[in-house]
Homo-oligomer: A and B are copies of this chain.
Protein backbone atom coordinates (compact mmCIF):
# COMPACT_ATOMS: atom_id res chain seq x y z
CA UNK A 1 0.00 0.00 0.00
CA UNK A 2 1.25 3.45 -0.97
CA UNK A 3 1.59 5.65 2.06
CA UNK A 4 4.68 7.86 1.81
CA UNK A 5 5.72 10.75 -0.38
CA UNK A 6 8.45 13.37 -0.78
CA UNK A 7 8.21 17.16 -0.93
CA UNK A 8 11.31 18.78 -2.45
CA UNK A 9 12.08 22.50 -2.71
CA UNK A 10 15.04 23.21 -4.98
CA UNK A 11 16.65 26.57 -4.26
CA UNK A 12 19.77 28.26 -5.58
CA UNK A 13 21.95 27.32 -2.58
CA UNK A 14 20.22 24.32 -1.00
CA UNK A 15 17.57 21.73 -1.70
CA UNK A 16 15.06 21.29 1.11
CA UNK A 17 13.67 17.78 1.37
CA UNK A 18 10.69 16.49 3.31
CA UNK A 19 9.49 12.93 3.83
CA UNK A 20 5.76 12.76 4.53
CA UNK A 21 3.00 10.25 5.07
CA UNK A 22 -0.14 10.29 2.93
CA UNK A 23 -1.95 12.49 5.50
CA UNK A 24 0.65 15.18 4.88
CA UNK A 25 2.37 14.74 8.25
CA UNK A 26 6.07 15.41 8.00
CA UNK A 27 8.19 12.45 9.18
CA UNK A 28 11.66 13.69 8.34
CA UNK A 29 13.31 16.82 6.95
CA UNK A 30 16.81 17.50 5.67
CA UNK A 31 18.77 19.65 3.24
CA UNK A 32 21.36 18.98 0.59
CA UNK A 33 23.62 21.46 -1.19
CA UNK A 34 22.53 22.68 -4.62
CA UNK A 35 25.48 22.00 -6.90
CA UNK A 36 24.99 24.57 -9.67
CA UNK A 37 28.35 23.93 -11.35
CA UNK A 38 28.52 22.42 -14.88
CA UNK A 39 25.10 23.87 -15.78
CA UNK A 40 23.56 22.27 -12.71
CA UNK A 41 23.81 18.73 -14.10
CA UNK A 42 24.33 17.22 -10.64
CA UNK A 43 21.21 18.68 -9.03
CA UNK A 44 18.67 16.13 -10.22
CA UNK A 45 20.91 13.07 -9.61
CA UNK A 46 21.71 14.44 -6.14
CA UNK A 47 17.99 14.78 -5.34
CA UNK A 48 17.21 11.30 -6.70
CA UNK A 49 20.06 9.80 -4.73
CA UNK A 50 19.00 11.53 -1.54
CA UNK A 51 15.42 10.25 -1.90
CA UNK A 52 16.49 6.66 -2.55
CA UNK A 53 18.99 6.79 0.32
CA UNK A 54 16.24 8.00 2.69
CA UNK A 55 14.06 5.02 1.73
CA UNK A 56 16.93 2.66 2.38
CA UNK A 57 17.71 4.34 5.70
CA UNK A 58 14.09 3.86 6.77
CA UNK A 59 13.74 0.38 5.25
CA UNK A 60 10.78 1.46 3.15
CA UNK A 61 9.93 -0.42 -0.02
CA UNK A 62 9.50 1.48 -3.29
CA UNK A 63 5.94 0.13 -3.62
CA UNK A 64 4.97 2.13 -0.55
CA UNK A 65 5.82 5.47 -2.18
CA UNK A 66 3.09 7.63 -3.77
CA UNK A 67 5.50 9.95 -5.58
CA UNK A 68 7.47 13.17 -5.44
CA UNK A 69 6.42 16.81 -5.52
CA UNK A 70 9.00 19.45 -6.45
CA UNK A 71 9.14 23.24 -6.39
CA UNK A 72 11.72 24.98 -8.61
CA UNK A 73 12.70 28.63 -9.13
CA UNK A 74 11.47 29.10 -12.70
CA UNK A 75 8.36 28.89 -14.90
CA UNK A 76 6.94 25.35 -15.08
CA UNK A 77 4.21 24.09 -17.39
CA UNK A 78 1.52 21.49 -16.68
CA UNK A 79 3.71 18.65 -17.91
CA UNK A 80 6.46 19.41 -15.38
CA UNK A 81 8.73 20.95 -18.00
CA UNK A 82 10.80 24.12 -17.61
CA UNK A 83 10.51 25.58 -21.12
CA UNK A 84 12.96 28.41 -20.41
CA UNK A 85 15.10 26.74 -17.76
CA UNK A 86 15.91 28.08 -14.29
CA UNK A 87 18.54 30.83 -14.11
CA UNK A 88 19.43 30.34 -10.43
CA UNK A 89 20.07 26.64 -10.99
CA UNK A 90 22.07 27.32 -14.18
CA UNK A 91 19.59 25.14 -16.06
CA UNK A 92 18.51 25.47 -19.65
CA UNK A 93 15.12 24.12 -20.80
CA UNK A 94 14.46 20.77 -19.16
CA UNK A 95 11.77 18.14 -18.63
CA UNK A 96 12.28 17.95 -14.88
CA UNK A 97 9.37 15.62 -14.04
CA UNK A 98 10.53 13.07 -16.62
CA UNK A 99 14.17 13.17 -15.48
CA UNK A 100 13.25 12.61 -11.84
CA UNK A 101 10.81 9.85 -12.75
CA UNK A 102 13.49 8.07 -14.75
CA UNK A 103 16.05 8.26 -11.95
CA UNK A 104 13.72 7.28 -9.11
CA UNK A 105 10.87 5.31 -10.65
CA UNK A 106 8.33 7.55 -8.84
CA UNK A 107 5.63 9.75 -10.32
CA UNK A 108 6.79 13.35 -10.04
CA UNK A 109 4.81 16.61 -10.12
CA UNK A 110 6.57 19.96 -10.46
CA UNK A 111 5.54 23.56 -9.83
CA UNK A 112 7.11 27.00 -9.63
CA UNK A 113 8.55 27.58 -6.16
CA UNK A 114 6.50 30.69 -5.30
CA UNK A 115 3.29 28.99 -6.42
CA UNK A 116 4.16 25.82 -4.56
CA UNK A 117 4.87 27.82 -1.40
CA UNK A 118 1.40 29.39 -1.73
CA UNK A 119 -0.10 25.92 -2.00
CA UNK A 120 1.86 24.90 1.11
CA UNK A 121 0.54 27.86 3.12
CA UNK A 122 -3.00 26.96 2.00
CA UNK A 123 -2.45 23.32 2.90
CA UNK A 124 -0.92 23.59 6.36
CA UNK A 125 -0.02 27.22 7.01
CA UNK A 126 -1.61 30.67 7.26
CA UNK A 127 -4.28 29.79 4.69
CA UNK A 128 -5.26 26.43 6.22
CA UNK A 129 -8.96 25.75 5.80
CA UNK A 130 -9.26 28.00 2.73
CA UNK A 131 -9.25 27.11 -0.96
CA UNK A 132 -8.98 30.58 -2.50
CA UNK A 133 -5.78 32.20 -1.33
CA UNK A 134 -3.30 34.82 -2.44
CA UNK A 135 0.13 34.43 -0.86
CA UNK A 136 2.23 37.58 -0.82
CA UNK A 137 5.93 37.03 -0.07
CA UNK A 138 7.74 40.16 1.06
CA UNK A 139 11.44 39.35 0.98
CA UNK A 140 14.35 40.82 -0.97
CA UNK A 141 11.77 40.94 -3.75
CA UNK A 142 7.99 40.58 -3.77
CA UNK A 143 6.60 37.24 -4.91
CA UNK A 144 3.22 35.67 -4.90
CA UNK A 145 1.07 32.68 -5.59
CA UNK A 146 -2.58 32.51 -6.59
CA UNK A 147 -4.70 29.58 -5.44
CA UNK A 148 -8.21 29.22 -6.90
CA UNK A 149 -10.42 26.33 -5.76
CA UNK A 150 -7.45 24.67 -4.11
CA UNK A 151 -5.29 24.71 -7.23
CA UNK A 152 -2.33 26.81 -8.32
CA UNK A 153 -3.06 29.31 -11.10
CA UNK A 154 0.02 28.98 -13.33
CA UNK A 155 -0.82 31.44 -16.08
CA UNK A 156 -0.29 31.14 -19.79
CA UNK A 157 3.35 32.24 -19.56
CA UNK A 158 3.92 30.87 -16.06
CA UNK A 159 3.62 34.46 -14.84
CA UNK A 160 0.44 34.26 -12.76
CA UNK A 161 1.24 35.52 -9.27
CA UNK A 162 4.16 37.65 -10.47
CA UNK A 163 2.71 40.34 -8.28
CA UNK A 164 6.05 41.98 -7.51
CA UNK A 165 6.09 43.44 -10.97
CA UNK A 166 2.65 44.96 -11.24
CA UNK A 167 2.78 48.69 -11.86
CA UNK A 168 1.87 50.83 -8.87
CA UNK A 169 3.83 54.09 -9.11
CA UNK A 170 3.78 56.28 -12.18
CA UNK A 171 6.36 58.73 -10.80
CA UNK A 172 9.11 56.17 -10.15
CA UNK A 173 12.39 57.20 -11.79
CA UNK A 174 14.58 54.25 -10.73
CA UNK A 175 14.49 51.07 -12.80
CA UNK A 176 13.26 47.77 -11.33
CA UNK A 177 15.24 44.52 -11.72
CA UNK A 178 12.65 43.48 -14.30
CA UNK A 179 13.35 46.48 -16.54
CA UNK A 180 10.11 48.34 -15.82
CA UNK A 181 9.52 51.40 -13.61
CA UNK A 182 7.16 51.67 -10.65
CA UNK A 183 6.78 47.98 -9.75
CA UNK A 184 5.24 46.89 -6.44
CA UNK A 185 8.57 45.24 -5.56
CA UNK A 186 10.24 48.67 -5.61
CA UNK A 187 8.09 49.86 -2.70
CA UNK A 188 6.91 46.79 -0.79
CA UNK A 189 9.91 44.43 -0.59
CA UNK A 190 12.52 44.63 2.19
CA UNK A 191 14.71 46.70 -0.13
CA UNK A 192 11.67 48.69 -1.27
CA UNK A 193 10.85 49.66 2.30
CA UNK A 194 14.44 50.87 2.75
CA UNK A 195 14.00 53.02 -0.36
CA UNK A 196 10.78 54.48 1.06
CA UNK A 197 12.59 55.11 4.35
CA UNK A 198 15.51 56.94 2.71
CA UNK A 199 13.13 59.14 0.79
CA UNK A 200 10.98 59.89 3.82
CA UNK A 201 13.99 60.78 5.96
CA UNK A 202 15.41 63.02 3.24
CA UNK A 203 12.08 64.77 2.71
CA UNK A 204 11.68 66.05 6.28
CA UNK A 205 13.68 67.14 9.30
CA UNK A 206 11.47 65.46 11.87
CA UNK A 207 13.60 63.75 14.54
CA UNK A 208 13.61 59.97 14.13
CA UNK A 209 15.43 57.06 15.73
CA UNK A 210 16.00 55.84 12.18
CA UNK A 211 18.39 58.72 11.40
CA UNK A 212 22.02 57.62 11.24
CA UNK A 213 21.07 53.96 11.68
CA UNK A 214 21.52 51.07 9.30
CA UNK A 215 18.17 51.09 7.55
CA UNK A 216 16.23 47.86 7.08
CA UNK A 217 12.57 46.85 6.89
CA UNK A 218 12.97 45.43 10.39
CA UNK A 219 14.44 48.69 11.72
CA UNK A 220 11.50 50.61 10.24
CA UNK A 221 8.83 48.41 11.82
CA UNK A 222 10.72 48.25 15.12
CA UNK A 223 10.68 52.06 15.11
CA UNK A 224 6.95 52.04 14.33
CA UNK A 225 6.42 49.93 17.43
CA UNK A 226 8.36 52.50 19.42
CA UNK A 227 6.06 55.24 18.14
CA UNK A 228 8.54 56.92 15.79
CA UNK A 229 6.63 59.46 13.66
CA UNK A 230 8.75 59.17 10.52
CA UNK A 231 8.68 55.38 10.70
CA UNK A 232 4.89 55.53 10.90
CA UNK A 233 4.76 57.64 7.74
CA UNK A 234 6.94 55.07 5.96
CA UNK A 235 4.65 52.27 7.13
CA UNK A 236 1.60 54.21 5.86
CA UNK A 237 3.30 54.61 2.50
CA UNK A 238 4.09 50.89 2.34
CA UNK A 239 0.55 49.96 3.45
CA UNK A 240 -0.97 52.27 0.86
CA UNK A 241 0.98 50.74 -2.03
CA UNK A 242 0.47 47.14 -0.99
CA UNK A 243 -3.08 47.45 0.33
CA UNK A 244 -4.25 49.23 -2.81
CA UNK A 245 -2.57 46.62 -5.04
CA UNK A 246 -4.22 43.79 -3.09
CA UNK A 247 -7.61 45.48 -3.51
CA UNK A 248 -7.07 45.36 -7.28
CA UNK A 249 -6.12 41.67 -7.10
CA UNK A 250 -9.38 41.07 -5.19
CA UNK A 251 -11.27 42.53 -8.16
CA UNK A 252 -9.68 39.84 -10.34
CA UNK A 253 -9.87 36.60 -8.30
CA UNK A 254 -11.64 37.63 -5.04
CA UNK A 255 -9.74 35.34 -2.62
CA UNK A 256 -11.00 34.30 0.81
CA UNK A 257 -7.71 35.26 2.41
CA UNK A 258 -4.42 37.05 1.81
CA UNK A 259 -1.48 35.33 3.49
CA UNK A 260 1.52 37.60 4.05
CA UNK A 261 4.92 35.91 4.26
CA UNK A 262 8.62 36.50 3.66
CA UNK A 263 11.20 38.17 5.90
CA UNK A 264 9.29 41.47 6.17
CA UNK A 265 6.29 39.62 7.66
CA UNK A 266 8.33 38.97 10.81
CA UNK A 267 7.21 42.47 11.81
CA UNK A 268 3.98 40.70 12.80
CA UNK A 269 0.36 41.78 12.84
CA UNK A 270 1.24 45.48 12.79
CA UNK A 271 2.19 44.93 9.15
CA UNK A 272 -1.29 43.62 8.40
CA UNK A 273 -2.86 46.63 10.16
CA UNK A 274 -1.13 49.01 7.74
CA UNK A 275 -1.98 46.91 4.67
CA UNK A 276 -5.62 46.37 5.69
CA UNK A 277 -6.26 50.07 6.26
CA UNK A 278 -5.71 50.82 2.58
CA UNK A 279 -7.06 47.51 1.33
CA UNK A 280 -10.41 48.20 2.96
CA UNK A 281 -10.49 51.77 1.70
CA UNK A 282 -10.11 50.75 -1.96
CA UNK A 283 -11.56 47.23 -2.21
CA UNK A 284 -14.93 46.69 -3.89
CA UNK A 285 -17.69 46.55 -1.25
CA UNK A 286 -18.22 42.77 -1.43
CA UNK A 287 -14.51 42.13 -0.77
CA UNK A 288 -13.85 44.60 2.03
CA UNK A 289 -13.88 41.91 4.71
CA UNK A 290 -11.50 39.48 3.04
CA UNK A 291 -9.27 37.87 5.69
CA UNK A 292 -5.58 38.55 6.23
CA UNK A 293 -3.11 36.30 8.01
CA UNK A 294 0.62 35.86 8.43
CA UNK A 295 2.34 32.93 6.75
CA UNK A 296 3.21 30.19 9.21
CA UNK A 297 5.52 27.73 7.50
CA UNK A 298 8.49 29.99 6.78
CA UNK A 299 11.08 28.18 4.67
CA UNK A 300 9.10 24.95 4.90
CA UNK A 301 6.17 26.25 2.82
CA UNK A 302 7.83 24.85 -0.31
CA UNK A 303 8.12 21.25 0.89
CA UNK A 304 4.54 21.28 2.20
CA UNK A 305 3.25 22.66 -1.09
CA UNK A 306 5.35 20.20 -3.07
CA UNK A 307 3.91 17.26 -1.19
CA UNK A 308 0.40 18.65 -1.68
CA UNK A 309 1.06 18.68 -5.45
CA UNK A 310 1.75 14.96 -5.52
CA UNK A 311 -1.02 14.09 -3.04
CA UNK A 312 -3.58 16.00 -5.15
CA UNK A 313 -2.42 14.12 -8.22
CA UNK A 314 -2.65 10.82 -6.36
CA UNK A 315 -6.20 11.53 -5.17
CA UNK A 316 -7.51 12.49 -8.59
Contact = CB atoms under 8 A, between A and B. Distances in A.
Interface string A141-157: 00000101000011111
Most chain-B CB neighbours within 10 Å: which of A178, A247, A254?
A254
Contacts of A153: 148, 253-254
A166 B279 CA distance: 11
Interface residues of A, number: 40
A248 B284 contact: no
A65 interface: no
Interface stretch (A93-101, A231-239, A285-293): A285-293
Interface in A109-165: 132, 146, 148, 153-163, 165
Residue of A153, A155, A249 most packed against chain B (CB within 10 A)? A155
A180 interface: yes
Each complex incorporates copies of this chain amounting to 2
Contacts of A254: 153-160, 162
Interface string A249-263: 111111110000000
Given A178-B285, A282-B180, A286-B75, A251 B163 contact: yes
Contacts of A248: 166-167, 245, 248-249
A287 to B, nearest CB: 5
B253 A162 contact: no
Nearest to A184: B251
A159 B287 contact: yes
Give the dominant DSSP class at A's interface: loop
A207 interface: no
Contacts of A146: 252-253
A179 interface: yes
Given A163-B251, A244-B167, A245-B248, A286 B157 contact: yes
Interface of A: 75, 132, 146, 148, 153-163, 165-167, 178-180, 182, 244-245, 247-256, 282, 284-287, 290
Going nearest first, the 9 A-B pairs with the smallest beta carbon separation are A155-B254, A166-B251, A167-B282, A160-B254, A156-B256, A165-B284, A157-B286, A159-B254, A159-B286
